[in-house]
Structure 1
Amino acid sequence: MVRHGKSVPWGVGCFEASFTRSDGRRTIGEIAEQREHTMSEAVETGGGSPAGRLVREARQHLGLTIEELAEASGVSVRTIGDVERGRSQRPQRGTLTALAQGLGLDEAARAELLAVVRAGRPVTGTSARVKASPCTLPRGVRDFVGRHAELSALRALAQRAAEGQDRDGDVPPVAVVSGPPGSGKTTLALRLAEEFAPSFPDGEFLLDMRGLEEHPLSAQEAVLRLLGAWDIEVAQLGAEERLARYHASAARLRAVLILDNAADEAQVRPLLPREGGVLAVVTSRRTLAGLEGVRRVQLGALSEDESTALLRAIVSDGRVDAEPDAVRSVSELCGHLPLALRVAGNWAATRTNWSLRRLAGRLADEDRRLDSLSAGDLRVNSAFSLSYSRLAPAAARMFRLLSLVPGPDFSAPPAAVLAGVSLPYAEDLLDDLLDAGLLMTSPGDRYRFHDLLRLYARSRLRAEEGEAGAAAAGARLRSWLLETAVLAGRWYEPDHGAPPPDPGRLVALDDRDQALRWLKAESDNWLAALREAAAGGEHATVTDVAQAMNWFSDLWVSWGHWAEVFQRAAESAAALGDPGLEAAHRNHVAWAHWVGGRHDEAAVSATRALRLATAGGDVAQQGWAHFYLGWLQNVAGDDAPATGNLTRARELFVRADDIRGYLQAAIAGINLLERAGRLREAVEAHQEVVDALADPRNHERIPPNVRDTDALTAGYQVGFVHLAQGHWADAVRALRPIRGQFDARGFHTPGAEVHLNLAHALARLGEDDEAAAGYRAVLALEGRIPPAMVDEARTGLDALAPGGPALEEPARLAARRP
């Protein structure tokens, strides 16, 4: 198409045909006869750029003045004039998008206008638009790894914005990416922007909100910078008018806006788009919990595989694959934190003659690790110090003191004890640290440090509190942990139970369940406190704590640290010169080794306890030593000495009036008597146990958990006795009450034995339906019990079927005969 010897820029036909006014004014196509006048005007005013001519032509065909277009588009009069006259040879994409919106262009016409602009720009290595924008995205990292779940969530938001789903009335999507220093928040946002750049034709913009500086960027200044990036003049407008112009402009864009390093909600809330196709991504070390209607993405540590992949991308000479063990060590010592891994990787990449094992050794020293994690101007310490410097004094002190918590996580009460503040105030300070990204949550309403942040907090503690201040706070926490452990453990002692009322107590210990939950939740912390007390010579405290755990330990036999607890108590008792107390704890050590399957060590400890108890004249502890020795011999099949030790134990427990010991020895004797063929005596021993458990005089002397366990174990043992005698009804009466109880405790093999023995007895009594249910319960445990028991259950089911084989005595039961 040629007019007066000049070519009309490519795309004008589409631009012209799609331009229509809803108020009835003529379209460009309807007044084509005005072209000659329009082109002449262009010549008179200096010709202009192709985009400028198109804008001016469309404006004049609509009968709009420059002032009216400025009002409709939000672009200043001066900028429109510069565009139309060609003074702005390469106008910003955002400016032309706003003008197209003000002119009422549809998507196709707007795309044609932008295509004209692109065609008129020189082709260089870098986009002219990117060069001109003060909010240009920085260079992204090429070795980005992991974050699959987080990227997936952000991609869904970006897709929504790119497809214009907000046009149905929804507000544009906003993502808040938060996490501790060095977790890669900005990197993740840049990755998203780069990936979706083709879907947002108006560009990608990043504005550093300077949230960690003394004077963060204000919302008003941010508005000015973004409007400047979009080439929109607002110099003569007030703050409210500029904000209105900002939202009007954002509503016309399809772009990605990254508000990086935000300080708080008030700083970014005014900047969040209200309509249009802008995807806003806010990054902050704070959680910005006050922002409404946003998609939250919280970053933590990388996985082990992701950490390895990142190191491999940085150190690309094969060392990562050649030293997998060293890579794991480096990753763990970096806490799988992206920034720390990047620093360590850069450090290794510049020292090609160093092995990664040497790097791991350098990082192993906790006192030097943070200083070692530096490469050029990239320092982990610097990232942490920025966040720390923004804390209020009380929160900063809490941050420092929390480095004294010995376990991997903690609840609010230990924090209150460390800081010497009330529980509500401690919770407020912990929330401040969470918001600042310096603390993380842990399951069960608990908190935890990243490993490197703990080291940083410890360094600040030494620098600002001094050795004396740190020692005083640590002693305060240790005393509280151990005192609370004693109160909680004594809930299970017959002579103690509920602790005395105390309105100032920081944890609820109103019943046994609360005590159990606290002891389990804080086990790492009070165990570490016990170790410190033992190392510091606080022997009376150590023995008090261990003694308080005696009855409770029966409820948590799988913990795995009871041998250490009681061993330290035995050593403290020896230091105190109390052989009876030492004998008691040596017996507890024997129990811990016994339940842990270390029978030889258990026998050594029980023998030592017997010697100490005999020398000190402690009858009860002599009884317990004989009991453990007898039970160990019973397990080993050494029946004669086992019978002698258990008989002696019962006699000593009667003399000492120790009902718990007596019951344990009596129950163990049932098994021995049955194996010896002394079935009548075995049944009598079981009846003694039942009578003792039912005796009202023993009600307060036997804790509920001990009572239940003794009844369960005694019923289990006597079941074999009744089966051996062919007393099917007696076997059913003994086994029915305990059916399923071993299963519930996780003891699958004895649980299966109860089901099998009960099913055998029921089958011989003709109660086939209940017997079949018992056999099927055993089959359900396949894979967790010996295969022979599964085969036995299948044989029993086959025997119950019509025409099935006769039910024979299983070899498992016959093997128990004397």
Structure 2
Amino acid sequence: MGTGVGITAPFGRLLRALRQSRRLTIEELAEASGISGRAIGAMERGRSRRPHRGTITALAQGLDLDEAAHADLLAAARAARPGALPAEPVRTTPHTLPRGVRDFVGRQAELTELRALAREAAEGAVVAPPVAVVSGPPGSGKTSLAVRLAEEPSTPCPDGAFLVDMRGLDERPLPAEQAVAGLLGSWGAGDAELARLTAEERLARYHDVAAGLCAVLVLDNAGSEAQVRPLLPRAGRLLVVVTSRRKLAGLEGVRRVTLGALRPRESAALLRAVVGAGRVDSEPRAADVVTDLCGHLPLALRVAANWAATRTNWSLDRLAGRLADEDRRLDALSAGDLKVNSAFALSCSRLAPEAARMFRLLSLLPAGDFSAAPAAVLADLPLPDTEDLLEELLEAGLLMTSRQSRYRLHDLLRLYAAARHRSEDGQERSLAARSRLRHWLLDTAVLAGRWYEPDYGMPPADPGRLVALEDREQAARWIRAEGDTWLAAYREAAAHGEHARVVEVAEAMHWFSDHWVSWGHWVEVYERAATAGAALGDAALEATHRNYLAWAYWACARRHDDAVEAATRALRLARAAGDVLQRAWAHAYLGWLWDADEDLSLAADHYLRAAELFTAADDVNGYLQVSCGMIRVLRGAGRAQAAVETCGDIMDALADPRHRDRIPPNVREFTVLTALYAVSFVHLDEERWEEAVEALRAVRGQFDARGWHKQAGKVHLHLAHALARLGEREEAAAEYRAVLAMEGDAPADVRDEAFAGLAALAAGRPAPLTRFSQ
């Protein structure tokens, strides 16, 4: 029953009033709740920080509070929390090493073996860098061991340590090509630059960069040999540590480290580190029973130890009895012959009902890390309450932290939570939660993607929005961080036949997709969208998304034949629908594709037809895009003057007052960059050095800012060549040195030309020129 004590009272005063109303001493409340008497006294006197939600729940259970009084106590604790400063943004890459466990124990023989490999790699004395494969059952601490090695100050990795989750247990494990692109991005390669490389070229670039690093790379949770084999370095000083539940016996020339259960003394050391040496050493027999019931498995031991650490007045003998009882009642989960469900069940048994429900619901999220917002949607709770519940799960050892302020469920815990969800929540509640999450994720994806659409931009204000979408950068961060999550919702929408929603999301992502070419899933997104357009019986809509699919096939996957087929099919559909604009875009994509294939005649035909159709549709942005393509085609056909005139037409269109508000700033900026870069090659071919310098100076630095290193290097190089021929020796030398300062970012042939240019200047002559290539 309620107490009538208002929530405006300070937390300590409220707690004391509740205890006294039950006629309990501090010692009696400690016994009933499992919270130490010293901690309760500190809370009542206001000498402790805001207690954790799990502690509040234990106190509420000890006080036998009803739901209303329990809520009052929680609210008072929340109000007592000191004002938190806004968190500084953490600058990390997607492959930043996660924080290791502070109380890591044991595995000394394995660490010694890995340390020796790290030194061997750093010395670079071997033919190929060493590779270690760490295998073992789930929960045996494979990732913790790899992270521990990388975090040790003595491990030689001056260029950093990186971790890639290979998602080997997922239905769709991470492809090696996607891992390559992601790592190159973490190592400084620009996304747009990666888009211009074939898969083979990206892999070659990966090995070139890896050969220059002295670092540790952890390929975590690998599913197969084929998944990791392309990522193993061929030269250099990069130590690769692969973790997997499988032995990966097909990998040759690797060092194998197999993890099993901890030794008894290591298990006891882990209990001491978490629970406290005094408590463990005072009950050695009970400690042995606890470690035995946990199968000496690090994950299970940590869950049980974390639980015991928060109940300081419980004996280990009492804990062992509870573990044994839970093991008899529920044996739904195990890793081989290592029983871990007892520890999980024990932790869950002490959770507040809302925390237990949150734990079960988290199993509905796709594997990988997640933020608090989707968890709040799943549970249909306010964000602050959700954060409290997630922190309670962290304290109970049922949740892990990931990069930045994100969370992660261990694979075993995900399976366990899913089993509990099926048995306790039922299908109807599960479907409702899934539907709620799917709609929120896709709604948010549409809002975030439309930041990049010229006709949308900033979404309308919404105080209830769970994520910040105040600018393009925030939108991009959300799309990238929650990529796995919203993609899973997108797949679910397609499976449910939500065709209109599928095409809406794909359309909203169209302008953004060009900023994240290396993601690896745009082909799937637009294949599903094209299929949805067909299912809706809308030929124009299907044509739109087959045009986007043509882009994805070529820009993201280098599948030229598939791209041509998609654009050709889009052209047929657009003709049947009478859609002039999509006919224009189909011709534009075909021109781009045949230009890439160096069939200049066919490219020119499509570009010209696209230009006519864009003019008929009064679409100046499409017209500008194909005109930039025409500069390249005309140059290749030897029609230099026509190419220069086309560039002039583009600049006139950009300057036309009628188009001032019709051309978005990003399209305007990109058009100028593309056109001037393309026409600079015409001037260089014709030895019009002054015109070349004017064009190249106008775009100098812009490719660098976008991460397009190949183009950036050529701008500096060609500007240096032209300046040298105009007698501007000092500025020419500075441009050559700018190329060399790019080091590995500039292609080797560009660097070689810059070296030769500097040598020629030193000898008093300009460098010899070869054909200028884009």
The question of a shared fold, defined as TM-score above 0.5 by the shorter chain, is answered with yes
Relative to 1, partners in 2 of residues 1:614 and 1:269: Cα closer, same or farther, differing over 3 Å? Answer: same
Match of 1:578 in 2: 538
1:601 paired to 2:569: no
Match of 1:798 in 2: 759
Residue by residue over 1:555-588, the C-alpha shift from the partner in whole angstroms, topping out at 9 and shown as x without a partner, is 2222121111111011001000000000000000
1:190 paired to 2:268: yes
Match of 1:741 in 2: 702
Equivalent pair of 1:488/1:515 in contact (CA under 8 Å): yes
Relative to 1, partners in 2 of residues 1:259 and 1:530: Cα closer, same or farther, differing over 3 Å? Answer: closer
Match of 1:615 in 2: 576
1:534 paired to 2:494: yes
CA distance in 2, matches of 1:790, 1:569: 43
Task: Give the secondary-structure state (helix, strand or coil) at the position aligned to 1:498.
Answer: coil
Match of 2:644 in 1: 683
Shift of 1:450: 0.6
Relative to 1, partners in 2 of residues 1:455 and 1:732: Cα closer, same or farther, differing over 3 Å? Answer: same
The structure 2 residue matched to 1:770, chosen from 731, 734, 737, is 731
Relative to 1, partners in 2 of residues 1:407 and 1:740: Cα closer, same or farther, differing over 3 Å? Answer: farther
Shift of 1:266: 7.0
Match of 2:446 in 1: 486
CA distance in 2, matches of 1:148, 1:604: 46
1:225-304 to structure 2, matched below 5 A, reads: 261=305, 263=307
Equivalent pair of 1:673/1:679 in contact (CA under 8 Å): yes
Shift of 1:687: 2.1
Residue by residue over 1:524-563, the C-alpha shift from the partner in whole angstroms, topping out at 9 and shown as x without a partner, is 1111101110011000000100111111112222212111
The structure 1 residue matched to 2:678, chosen from 688, 708, 717, is 717
CA distance in 2, matches of 1:417, 1:149: 32
CA distance in 2, matches of 1:670, 1:463: 65
Shift of 1:722: 1.4
Shift of 1:516: 1.1
1:731 paired to 2:692: yes
1:649 paired to 2:610: yes
CA distance in 2, matches of 1:154, 1:577: 60
Q: Which amino acid aligns with 1:451?
A: D
CA distance in 2, matches of 1:493, 1:771: 40
Relative to 1, partners in 2 of residues 1:647 and 1:505: Cα closer, same or farther, differing over 3 Å? Answer: same
Q: Which amino acid aligns with 1:380?
A: V
Relative to 1, partners in 2 of residues 1:460 and 1:402: Cα closer, same or farther, differing over 3 Å? Answer: same
Equivalent pair of 2:304/2:343 in contact (CA under 8 Å): no
C-alpha root-mean-square deviation of aligned residues, in Å?
Answer: 3.8
Equivalent pair of 1:620/1:656 in contact (CA under 8 Å): yes
Shift of 1:464: 0.4
Q: Which amino acid aligns with 2:682?
A: V
The structure 1 residue matched to 2:528, chosen from 539, 545, 568, is 568
Equivalent pair of 2:334/2:341 in contact (CA under 8 Å): no
CA distance in 1, matches of 2:622, 2:279: 79
1:397-412 to structure 2, matched below 5 A, reads: 397-412=357-372
Shift of 1:649: 0.7
Match of 2:460 in 1: 500
Shift of 1:503: 1.5
Equivalent pair of 1:440/1:449 in contact (CA under 8 Å): yes
Shift of 1:192: 8.4
TM-score by length of 2: 0.60
RCO higher in structure (CA 8 A, sep ≥6): 2
Task: Give the secondary-structure state (helix, strand or coil) at the position aligned to 1:811.
Answer: coil
Shift of 1:591: 0.5
The structure 2 residue matched to 1:391, chosen from 327, 351, 362, is 351
Relative to 1, partners in 2 of residues 1:148 and 1:508: Cα closer, same or farther, differing over 3 Å? Answer: closer
1:446 paired to 2:522: no
Equivalent pair of 1:209/1:260 in contact (CA under 8 Å): no
Residue by residue over 1:42-89, the C-alpha shift from the partner in whole angstroms, topping out at 9 and shown as x without a partner, is xxxxxxxxxxxxxxxxxxxxxxxxxxxxxxxxxxxxxxxxxxxxxxxx
Equivalent pair of 2:719/2:735 in contact (CA under 8 Å): yes
Relative to 1, partners in 2 of residues 1:262 and 1:796: Cα closer, same or farther, differing over 3 Å? Answer: closer
Shift of 1:444: 2.7
CA distance in 1, matches of 2:513, 2:544: 14
The structure 2 residue matched to 1:811, chosen from 740, 754, 770, is 770
Equivalent pair of 1:415/1:426 in contact (CA under 8 Å): yes
The structure 2 residue matched to 1:205, chosen from 281, 284, 291, is 281
Residue by residue over 1:647-684, the C-alpha shift from the partner in whole angstroms, topping out at 9 and shown as x without a partner, is 11111111112222111100000111112222222112
Segments of 5+ residues of structure 2 without an aligned counterpart are: 1-104, 112-144, 155-259, 290-301, 320-326
CA distance in 2, matches of 1:142, 1:758: 57
Equivalent pair of 1:209/1:262 in contact (CA under 8 Å): no
Residue by residue over 1:613-647, the C-alpha shift from the partner in whole angstroms, topping out at 9 and shown as x without a partner, is 11111111111111111111112221111111111
Task: Give the secondary-structure state (helix, strand or coil) at the position aligned to 1:555.
Answer: coil
Equivalent pair of 2:376/2:383 in contact (CA under 8 Å): yes
Shift of 1:205: 2.3
Relative to 1, partners in 2 of residues 1:806 and 1:445: Cα closer, same or farther, differing over 3 Å? Answer: closer
Match of 1:333 in 2: none
Relative to 1, partners in 2 of residues 1:411 and 1:700: Cα closer, same or farther, differing over 3 Å? Answer: farther
Equivalent pair of 2:304/2:347 in contact (CA under 8 Å): no
CA distance in 2, matches of 1:569, 1:718: 36
Aligned residue pair count: 503
Relative to 1, partners in 2 of residues 1:505 and 1:608: Cα closer, same or farther, differing over 3 Å? Answer: same
CA distance in 1, matches of 2:150, 2:602: 67
Residue by residue over 1:107-157, the C-alpha shift from the partner in whole angstroms, topping out at 9 and shown as x without a partner, is xxxxxxxxxxxxxxxxxxxxxxxxxxxxxxxxx99997555986999999x
Relative to 1, partners in 2 of residues 1:149 and 1:374: Cα closer, same or farther, differing over 3 Å? Answer: closer
Q: Which amino acid aligns with 2:590?
A: L
TM-score by length of 1: 0.57
CA distance in 1, matches of 2:719, 2:505: 42
1:103-502 to structure 2, matched below 5 A, reads: 145-146=110-111, 147=145, 188=266, 190-191=268-269, 205-207=281-283, 261=305, 263=307, 371=333, 373-375=335-337, 378-502=338-462
CA distance in 2, matches of 1:727, 1:206: 88
CA distance in 1, matches of 2:755, 2:710: 16
Residue by residue over 1:458-496, the C-alpha shift from the partner in whole angstroms, topping out at 9 and shown as x without a partner, is 000001001111111011000000011111111111222
CA distance in 2, matches of 1:502, 1:451: 36
CA distance in 2, matches of 1:674, 1:437: 64
Residue by residue over 1:237-265, the C-alpha shift from the partner in whole angstroms, topping out at 9 and shown as x without a partner, is xxxxxxxxxxxxxxxxxxxxx99936577
Shift of 1:700: 4.3
CA distance in 2, matches of 1:769, 1:496: 47
Task: Give the secondary-structure state (helix, strand or coil) at the position aligned to 1:261.
Answer: helix
Shift of 1:743: 3.1
Task: Give the secondary-structure state (helix, strand or coil) at the position aligned to 1:542.
Answer: helix
Q: Which amino acid aligns with 2:438?
A: R
Relative to 1, partners in 2 of residues 1:625 and 1:186: Cα closer, same or farther, differing over 3 Å? Answer: farther
Residue by residue over 1:749-790, the C-alpha shift from the partner in whole angstroms, topping out at 9 and shown as x without a partner, is 222211111111111222222211221222344555544323
Equivalent pair of 2:631/2:679 in contact (CA under 8 Å): yes
Equivalent pair of 2:733/2:761 in contact (CA under 8 Å): yes
Relative to 1, partners in 2 of residues 1:548 and 1:208: Cα closer, same or farther, differing over 3 Å? Answer: farther
Q: Which amino acid aligns with 1:261?
A: A
Task: Give the secondary-structure state (helix, strand or coil) at the position aligned to 2:281.
Answer: strand
CA distance in 1, matches of 2:645, 2:575: 30
Equivalent pair of 2:757/2:766 in contact (CA under 8 Å): no
Match of 1:669 in 2: 630
Task: Give the secondary-structure state (helix, strand or coil) at the position aligned to 1:812.
Answer: coil
Shift of 1:748: 2.4
